[in-house]
Amino acid sequence: MTDQELKEIMKPENIVYKKSGLLRDNIMHYCPGCSHGVTHKLIAEVIEELGIKEQTIGISPVGCSVFAYNYIDVDWQEAAHGRAPALATAVKRLLPDKYVFTYQGDGDLASIGAAEILHACNRGENIVCIFVNNAIYGMTGGQMAPTTLVGMKTATTPYGRNVDRNGYPMKITELIAQLPGTCYVTRQSVETPAAVRKTKQAIKKAFLNQKEKKGTSFIEVVSTCNSGWKIDPIKANKWMQDHLFKFYPLGDLKDSVKDDPESYKQYIE
């Protein structure tokens, strides 16, 4: 291709993909190839496309994504470890016209914060919950999480997770789908262009559910932590496809509205 041809192509009107305007210019602290970056980008793109930047408040977690508020240019509150759904409850109830979303890892959500997420979903808080499940505590150096697969080696299970000693891996998304307050529960991933597009559609749908006051929308993103897993980013994606997807199958677990409160009155009448 000649320089002239390249110049012809690289005109502003020919741009078909560029960094979301809602992502700041700073460089994210994540390890190369980390799924958090892709997931951040999708949230930014959705908020930008829906034109709700000024109405959106994110609740960031403790974990590698603790600095999410540095990257996506909306208002944020930082929660104590695991407490994002409780804080989101307060923010949404005080400011019901805002779009409120939580962003949490699997240690944050399924371990220390298990009570908060289950009860927020059970109450049917009108929020969006994004759950990045990389089956490990990334931030603290790769310890076992509730989501770690049996046999998976981590800093705290050097011989592999053992059920007798460490318990079973937890499918918390399946638990959440049982709760009457949820309207949309789905499990997605971000390792291929097709998967990224599907996850973006899921996030958009979740924000629109909030607009329609349908209940809690919960999106699990099965993810990699190549540093914690101690493999390179390309192998990490393959390992996720070969192993995590078998235990955490992708797809919608629920797509409706929260239960009708009227249907609960019969028991006392």
Partner 1 sequence: MAEIKGAVVVDVERCKGCGLCIVACPKKVLDHSGDVNSRGYDYVKMVNPDACIGCTSCATVCPDSVITVYRAKI
105 contributes a contact to ligand TPP by CB under 6 A: yes
CB-based contacts of 168, cutoff 8 Å, min separation 6: 150
65 contributes a contact to ligand TPP by CB under 6 A: yes
134 contributes a contact to ligand TPP by CB under 6 A: yes
SS3 24: coil
**Candidate segments 91-99, 102-110, 120-128, 196-204, binder of ligand TPP by CB under 6 A:** 102-110
Cα–Cα distance for residue pair 105/35, rounded to 1 Å: 11
Cα–Cα distance for residue pair 134/138, rounded to 1 Å: 8
Taking the complex as a whole, the smallest distance from the CB of residue 90 to ligand TPP amounts, in Å, to: 19
Question: How many binding residues for ligand TPP (CB under 6 A)?
Answer: 19
Neighbours of 45 (CB within 10 A): 19
Q: Which does 228 bind (CB under 5 to 8 A by kind): Mg ion, ligand SF4, partner 1, none?
A: ligand SF4
179 contributes a contact to ligand TPP by CB under 6 A: no
Q: What angle do CA 9, 39, 251 make, to 5 degrees?
A: 110
Binding site for partner 1 (CB under 8 A): 1, 5-6, 8-11, 14-20, 23, 27-28, 30-38, 41, 190-193, 196-197, 232-234, 237
Both tokens of 229, joined, read 């897993």
Q: Which does 227 bind (CB under 5 to 8 A by kind): partner 1, ligand SF4, ligand TPP, none?
A: ligand SF4
138 contributes a contact to ligand TPP by CB under 6 A: yes
Both tokens of 156, joined, read 């705290």
Are 111 and 70 contacting, i.e. CB atoms less than 8 angstroms apart? Answer: no
**Binding pattern for the stretch 106-125 against ligand TPP, x by CB under 6 A and - elsewhere:** xxx---x-------------
Are 187 and 220 contacting, i.e. CB atoms less than 8 angstroms apart? Answer: yes
Q: Which does 261 bind (CB under 5 to 8 A by kind): ligand TPP, partner 1, Mg ion, none?
A: none
DSSP result, 146-168: TTPPTT---SS-TT---HHHH-P
Residues making contact with Mg ion (CB under 5 A) = 105-106, 134, 138
Residues making contact with ligand TPP (CB under 6 A) = 62-65, 81, 105-108, 112, 132, 134, 136-140, 145, 225
